[in-house]
Chains A and B, each alone.
Chain A
Amino acid sequence: MRLPARPGERLDRSREVAFSFYGKPVKAFEGDTFGSALYASGQRIFSRSFKYHRPRGLLCCSGSCANCMMTVDGVPNVRVCAEPVREGAIVRPQNVLGSLEHDALVATDKLGGPFTPVGFYYRTMIRPRWAWPLYEKFLRNVAGLGKLDKHAGRANRYDVEHRRAEVLVVGGGRAGRKAARKHAAAGRQVVLVDEGFVDPLEGVDVISPGRALGIWEGGLVPIDAGHVLYRFRAEKIVVATGTIEQPLVFPGNDLVGVMLPDGVRRLIEDWGIKPAEQAVVVTVDEAGREAAAALEEAGVRINGVYDLRRERVREIVARGRGGVLRSVEIDGRKLSCDLLVMSGGRQPAYSLLAQVGARVEYDPERGVFIPTDIPDGIEAVGSVAGEGLDGAVPAASYNGASGKGKCFVCVCEDVTDKDLKRAIGEGFDSIELAKRYTTVTMGPCQGRLCHVPSIRLYARENEKDEATIGTTTARPPWAPVTLGLLAGRPHEPAQRTSIHHRHKELGAKMMWTGTWRRPHSYGEPEGEAKSVHDSVGVIDVSTLGKMIVRGPDAAEFLERLYPNRFGDMKPMRIRYGVLNSDAGRIMDDGTIARLDDETFYVTTTSTGAGAVLEWFEWWNAVWGKDVEIVNVTGALAAVNVAGPRARAVMRSLTGIDLSNEGLSYLDARDAQVAGVPSLILRIGFVGELGYELHFPSPYGEHVWNAILQAGEDFGIRPFGLEPQRILRLEKMHILIGQDTDSESNVLEANMPWIAKLDKDDFVGKWSLEHVQERGLQDLLVGFEMEDGTVPLEGAQVVLEGTRPIGRITSSRWSPELRKAIGMAWVPAEIAEEGKSFLVTVDGGFERATVRLRPFFDPDGERLRS
């Protein structure tokens, strides 16, 4: 029933809003919440509880408990007591079978009790194991917090915004506003946030509603403002989060009509609603008395006020019908009422302070926990710091009335005093253990209304004091937050070469290599590989890491960093280098081209570029040599033209001497290719005559198109990563990370010639010396399958039918050689040409023969042609 308009109310009675509930229209005013409007229209049952499906009604009216959770416009678990009304919204109850008034699942309350004590799920529904899917389906349907509408979820957009504040005030009540004004007056940049709606404040940036989810390192305070997450970095944080009214524990304390003082006050003062006809108040502090006064003024008949600071009450029993309050018995005296106001004191909302390192101390005078030892940069003001609290410690009213009905300690999770006592009886005698066993404080209210009552109960049952029991760890988020808000916008950092769009136009199947997008193939990997052998192919290798290493100490720097020798390289020559860690393990590989006395051009693997640059820069910082390292990975596109007709294709693209003498294997040349300044590297990862062109990336498409055109007469085909893998495997060229792992070294990985152990010192030298001394144990070898089955990569190498002794790292069918080939790690004793081993294939074994020389063109004649 609505009261006449009053000053200070949140309603704008000139603006009507209508929404639907159970398919029927509900009238509201602007300024109402869905909950207040429903209450004003006569709705009393707002939800059914989690486990017992007991009727629940408004309790706190401040978004703390779970009693009013409903589904609004497809979004579940909305606390309608705090959610502002919206025109046309569709509001539905959740977790009921039938209706709020008649929920068939209430059977669990009437019958399930003996079968569903605390922790029952640890002991039941385990056997028979095959029935578990059925148990799960059943449980999910009878206990839950609303259903997700997949489509409603996707329709929401969430953004993240980065903000800074000199002073961030959390809490827009009296103390928070006072602190904000003070700091603004001192000329600071102040931001104030409040979970609810607060009035603007001059000189202060107010975000309301805006909920602080927690305080993280570096003054990071994310603010949930519905569809925007404000990621604040604050120099100073003022916590003015106030207190949370606590319930009392007694039989029937969860009946519809039992409310906290603040809930009553809001109904009357914010939304102009007369909450009931007759009320009884039981309180340990002034808040209850203030609620009684407000009720009286609103025309509610007060049938009794019990102030536990002045009188002792042994037994409180609330009684109702159909889950709705009808009367309360105080020490045996029965009082009619449809509203029972209970106040168990006000507990400072210290969670943010505890997260940031403050301690929490129990105050025996006031029966609540107060934060202390606030760290630097954080300030606690107002009632959260304990100011103005005047409550008494409530007596254990449930003890006087046990057996007269369920006393709820945690209404969210339906945990009763009996459950907690049973948990203690079973040995869970610390509050942290009890919490995890009973799930008290683990529901939507996250302890706001049940943490202190549970500690009080524990103290009494264990005959310890609350200070000894202590509190459980406060963790973020302060309130449930949608995952969508934390996720923000769905962008995935991806690197693409400047030729990317041409690959897509040519029908390439794209894949991820680290964070690069690359063509797996253009539809026919084996055909693409074969055409490189038969004629000519072209592949985009722009993803390679590339660095210019230049300076008077460049050669010395590379000599100390790599196991290879570089000091004696002639200009415009190329070497293959393998980068080692100081533990002698293989980190990365690539080509090193010497451009002049002081300049080297170094390439790395596509996914290793970042790590190698860091590595180079670190050693340079440590050694302090006169050398500069410049990352030019994106500056250059790179394209490899390979095959017996590659020279012919290149002839129409560039004017330099391409004869085998003019540009030999492992030579580098500067040239204009298709009118673009390029560096040509004659190298051969894929084992055929090949030219790798490095040129400025904005000309990627231009050069690619020119190559395809020049090669048209030769049947040039673009080829992707998959055919490249087949080709390199035919040459037994290793792939770092595929054929090697974090333990592999060059001596055992079939490349002993890389390590020049006669050099003075290089990164990894000592470790390699020790490996040599110890003797090589497992070696990387090539193999071919006797019968042509291709084993899976990762398949085991097995001694005659017994234990695994090695593994397959790479395997493919070679269309050129018409056999199944691969590489594997095997013990040194087997690592000899012609020896055989077994490989696990499809639950059985197949035989393989060790090969130590490349399968295709072992002498490299094609490469050097």
Chain B
Amino acid sequence: MSFLLDCPNCGPRDVNEFSCAGEVTVRPKESPTLRELTGYIYFRRNVAGVQREWWYHRQGCEIWFQAERDTRTNEVLRTEIFDPAEQEARTK
């Protein structure tokens, strides 16, 4: 794994400077049923295609951001700082 990831703050860097926290998920708004809770904790869409995921610039500026990466080719289409309002709008 050696692709370059474009940190929104620092620019393109070796992917090993970062930690990945996986697919972006939506946390239940209020007390979920056991089924909803299990879904939230364990199940992921795990697409073979473009995935929106969390990245942390661990060895650099230490910001958390989101990336859209094609899991088949590791091509990173975009990276952007997380905006809670925008995520809200997107997941509606």
Contact = CB atoms under 8 A, between A and B. Distances in A.
A583 B37 CA distance: 8
B1 interface: yes
B19 A217 contact: no
B32 A766 contact: yes
Interface in B1-16: 1-4, 14-15
A427 interface: no
A767 B74 CA distance: 34
A621 interface: yes
Nearest to B3: A217
Nearest to A162: B14
Interface residues of A, number: 19
Contacts of B62: 617
A621 B2 contact: no
Given A618-B56, A766-B32, A218 B84 contact: no
Q: How many B residues touch the partner, as a band?
A: 20 to 34
A614 B19 contact: yes
Contacts of B56: 614, 617-618
Majority secondary structure of chain A interface residues (helix, strand, loop or mixed): helix
A216 B2 contact: yes
A218 B3 contact: yes
Contacts of B31: 766, 769
B64 A770 contact: no
A220 B2 contact: yes
Interface in B21-36: 21, 27-28, 31-32, 34
B41 A583 contact: yes
Contacts of A218: 2-4, 14-15
Contacts of A217: 1-4, 74
Contacts of A770: 34, 37
Contact of B58 (A233, A614, A766, A769): A614
A557 to B, nearest CB: 15
A510 B85 CA distance: 50
Given A617-B64, A622-B84, A582 B3 contact: no
B64 A624 contact: no
A622 B82 contact: yes
Given A217-B1, A614-B58, A770-B34, A621 B41 contact: no
Nearest to B81: A621
Contacts of A219: 4
A610 interface: yes
A216 B74 CA distance: 11
Nearest to A216: B2
A233 B62 CA distance: 23
A233 B12 CA distance: 11
Contacts of B64: 617-618, 621
Nearest to A764: B41
A83 B64 CA distance: 50
Which of B2, B14, B82 is packed against the most chain A CB atoms within 10 Å?
Answer: B2
Contact of A582 (B14, B40, B82): B40
B91 to A, nearest CB: 13
Which of A218, A582, A767 is packed against the most chain B CB atoms within 10 Å?
Answer: A218
Contacts of B74: 217
A602 to B, nearest CB: 17
A610 B21 CA distance: 14
A240 to B, nearest CB: 23
Interface string B52-90: 001010100011100000000010000000101000000
Contacts of A610: 58
A770 B84 CA distance: 28
A582 B2 contact: no
A582 to B, nearest CB: 6
A232 B70 CA distance: 24
Contacts of A622: 82, 84
B88 to A, nearest CB: 11
A219 B14 CA distance: 11
Contacts of B63: 621
A460 to B, nearest CB: 36
A463 to B, nearest CB: 36
A576 to B, nearest CB: 26
Interface string A594-628: 00000000000000001000100110011010000
Interface in A199-224: 216-220
A624 B64 CA distance: 12
B41 A582 contact: yes
A271 B58 CA distance: 55
Nearest to A621: B64
A624 B2 CA distance: 32
Contacts of B58: 610, 614
Nearest to B42: A583
Interface in A51-103: none
A618 B21 CA distance: 9
B10 to A, nearest CB: 15
Contacts of B28: 766
A548 to B, nearest CB: 15
A268 B4 CA distance: 47
A766 B37 contact: yes
Contacts of A769: 31
Nearest to A610: B58
B51 to A, nearest CB: 16
A218 B37 CA distance: 38
Nearest to B75: A217
A694 to B, nearest CB: 22
A739 to B, nearest CB: 23
A220 B32 CA distance: 46
Contacts of A233: 4
Contacts of B4: 217-219, 233
Contacts of B54: 618
B14 A624 contact: no
Interface in A438-479: none
Nearest to A582: B41
Interface string A737-754: 000000000000000000
Interface in A517-534: none
A766 B27 CA distance: 12
Nearest to B54: A618
A340 to B, nearest CB: 45
A618 B32 CA distance: 22
A46 B84 CA distance: 70
Contacts of A582: 27, 40-41
A621 B32 CA distance: 23
A624 B82 CA distance: 10
Nearest to B62: A617
Interface string A755-774: 00000000000110110000
A622 B4 CA distance: 25
A691 B20 CA distance: 38
A767 B14 contact: no
A842 B21 CA distance: 43
B70 to A, nearest CB: 12
B82 A767 contact: no
A582 B54 CA distance: 16
Contacts of A220: 2
A767 B40 CA distance: 11
A781 B1 CA distance: 43
B72 to A, nearest CB: 11
Nearest to B12: A218
A617 B37 CA distance: 23
Nearest to B30: A761
Nearest to A583: B41
A624 B84 contact: yes
B37 A621 contact: no
Counting from the closest, the 3 A-B pairs by CB-CB distance are: A217-B3, A218-B4, A621-B64
18 contacts: A216-B2, A217-B1, A217-B3, A217-B4, A217-B74, A218-B4, A220-B2, A582-B27, A582-B41, A610-B58, A614-B21, A617-B56, A618-B56, A618-B64, A621-B63, A766-B31, A766-B37, A769-B31
Interface of A: 216-220, 233, 582-583, 610, 614, 617-618, 621-622, 624, 766-767, 769-770
Given A614-B58, A618-B54, 4 more contacts: A217-B4, A218-B3, A614-B19, A618-B21
